[in-house]
Amino acid sequence: MDAQFSQSEKVRYSRQTILPQFGLTGQTKLKNARVLFVGAGGLGSAPAIYLAAAGVGTIGLIDPDKVSLSNLHRQILHFTPDVDKPKVVSASEKLTQINPNVKIVTYQERLTVQNAQSIIDDYDVVIDGTDNLPSRYLINDACFFLKKNFIFGGVYQFEGQVSVFGASGPCYRCIFREMPSPEEMPSCVEAGVIGVIPGIIGLMQANEAIKGICGMGESLLGRLLIFDALSACWREVKIKNDPECPLCGAHPTIKKLEEYSWECASGKMSQMMLQVSVRELKELRDKNPDLYLLDVREQEEWDVDRIEGAHLKPMSQLQDNYQDIPKDKPVYCYCHAGGRSARVVGFLKSQGYENVYNVIGGMQAWSEEIDSPSF
């Protein structure tokens, strides 16, 4: 079995092959593995570096963009002299320097309905390193049809999420059935993100990839981890197969890849996005105390602090628990920092709620600016 490793590879990987649970068997599985990164940016950077270093045999990179200066604070695969270079070229150069034994395959294009299945079919597992929902839904659906696992990662401001979605489900649509319209799609381009958060989430994705390839440990399949960088807390939400899921449920309505919207005009989006600041919310409440305020954090967060008069419906249970949210009055949705609530706004819109708003900065902004103004 070790014949396929050169002497220098044996030395290179020796600190992981001495692990009894991993050994040369694990190393061989990594060498035979083919991992596709959709997106060679913030989320993809750290896991691509680590998977190349670990000795994954083939790494595919698909990304249509060029490196820009504002990418560099989080996209650590790209260096200052790489600005204006295609990301896949810059990434490929770095990964080859880290480990010349890895075969890098690049696609300088966007993942589309037309190319998704043929590209993904060449790989064992897909790492979602995108910053937009249309790509995520496309990856989810294509991986479902091809019976491949995809390792999901998402970041928003100070929050990150990571999970594994599989061919037998649950899939991403088991949590968020339909893709929200562009105005409800915050991407980190407009929302801002602290650079270490995609790094932390990306490395969790890399860890899931290594475990999955080598058949070690307990996968994140059916479990969503949510990381709050400000409190440095991880929470785990169990995800079940939704029997009504339009993709993986008992009576699917999605039977092939659909058209996915690629609109991502960030400036336009933030104007269109239905969101309010905590100060605007305070003024609106003073005028209309009857408006419906929805808190989507977990019970333990609610116990610590809350906005008086809000209704608690944790995001983890919302899918079975949203029907009594009124449709005839405006709904203002908040979480700790604004990430989860943005997703809930998207979910409620998909369920026919017209008048739903995200509260920017969530409870944290409310505590700082409204409850204890120190200026």
- Give the dihedral sign, CA 201/205/207/208: positive
Contact of 254 with 246, CB cutoff 8 Å: yes
Identity of the residue, 243 or 309, whose beta carbon is nearer to Zn ion in the bound complex = 243
42-54 helix and 196-214 helix, angle to the nearest 10 degrees: 40
Identity of the residue, 131 or 242, whose beta carbon is nearer to Zn ion in the bound complex = 242
Question: Smallest gap, in angstroms, from Cβ of residue 233 to Zn ion?
Answer: 27
Rounded CA-CA distance 306/325 in Å is: 18
Question: Smallest gap, in angstroms, from Cβ of residue 257 to Zn ion?
Answer: 15
Question: Smallest gap, in angstroms, from Cβ of residue 174 to Zn ion?
Answer: 4
Residue among 291, 354, 346, 359 at smallest CA distance from 319: 346
Sheet holding 58-62, edge to edge: 103-107, 58-62, 34-38, 125-128, 149-156, 159-165, 223-228, 233-238
Question: Smallest gap, in angstroms, from Cβ of residue 169 to Zn ion?
Answer: 5
**In DSSP terms, which residues pair with 224 in a beta bridge?**
237
Question: Smallest gap, in angstroms, from Cβ of residue 299 to Zn ion?
Answer: 26
Rounded CA-CA distance 29/287 in Å is: 63
Identity of the residue, 12 or 177, whose beta carbon is nearer to Zn ion in the bound complex = 177
Question: Smallest gap, in angstroms, from Cβ of residue 261 to Zn ion?
Answer: 20
User: Can the peptide bond before residue 246 be classed as cis, meaning omega within 30 degrees of 0?
Assistant: no
Identity of the residue, 129 or 169, whose beta carbon is nearer to Zn ion in the bound complex = 169
Give the type of residue at 80. Answer: T
In the bound complex, which residue of the shown chain has the CB atom lying closest to Zn ion? 245
Identity of the residue, 13 or 176, whose beta carbon is nearer to Zn ion in the bound complex = 176
Binding footprint of Zn ion on the chain (CB under 5 A): 169, 171, 173-174, 245, 247-248
Instruction: Tell me the catalytic residues.
Output: 188, 335
Contact of 179 with 134, CB cutoff 8 Å: yes
Identity of the residue, 15 or 251, whose beta carbon is nearer to Zn ion in the bound complex = 251
Identity of the residue, 166 or 362, whose beta carbon is nearer to Zn ion in the bound complex = 166
Residue among 172, 319, 362, 180 at smallest CA distance from 248: 172
- Looking at residue 63, the DSSP 8-state letter turns out to be -
Q: Which parts of 207-321 are beta strand (E)?
A: 223-228, 233-238, 275-276, 292-295, 311-312
Residue 54 has a CB neighbour count (10 Å cut-off) of 24
Q: What are the two backbone dihedrals, phi and then psi, of residue 324, each rounded to the nearest 5 degrees? A: -90, 5
Q: How many residues does the chain have?
A: 375
Question: Smallest gap, in angstroms, from Cβ of residue 254 to Zn ion?
Answer: 9
